Amino acid sequence: MSLYTWLRTATVGFTIVLATATATTANAAPTSAAEPSATASAAAAVTLRYDDSRAGGWEAAIAAGVASWNANVDNVKLVEAAPGTRAEIVIVATTGWPQATLGPVRPGRQVRVELGSQAVSQGYDKTRIAAHELGHSLGLPDTKPGPCSQLMSGSSAGTACVNAIPNAAEQARVESAYAAGAASLVATDGRVLVDAP
């Protein structure tokens, strides 16, 4: 192989390696630049703790209701309170109709959710009840009467309704309530909304 052929082959090889390294670096830069933004938005979310230690028999429905809210809103996240820590949302099982204090609750404050077995005995879905009552804690009033597609229509949607997902308007209202973090939230007015038909 002549020196000219060898140099030409080496130069082409070096150019390919350099181009590959440049492309890899160029592609990696936007990813790492986007990471702080994703971290910043996650850090901006208001975290609310819930205590369901007195809601025996409702654990699966509460977990599904919490998962529904966490999957559909970004500005607030619901997490289970560690034993012995104060929770913003206290959830208890009762024998009456479901009811909850109207929020939006802010960190350090406290609201109460009562998951009433009377609604279940009437045929209403437990997961929808739990998600609906959590919606009150996040600041959403009832929208009765309303269709099944509205989580906050509650019992007015009928016993056949099992929708536990907030619609776009409900999601937007909660996002707006928690958009500027906890500092912008007004204190709850203490109104209790009872969800009997």
> Hey, which residues are catalytic here?
133
Tokens of 119: 């609604």
CA–CA separation, 146 vs 129, rounded Å? 15
E strand or H helix that includes residue 116: strand 111-116
Q: Are 115 and 91 contacting, i.e. CB atoms less than 8 angstroms apart?
A: yes
- β-pairing, 89-94 vs 76-80, is unpaired
Tokens of 51: 């205590």
Q: Which residues pair with 101 in a beta bridge?
A: 192
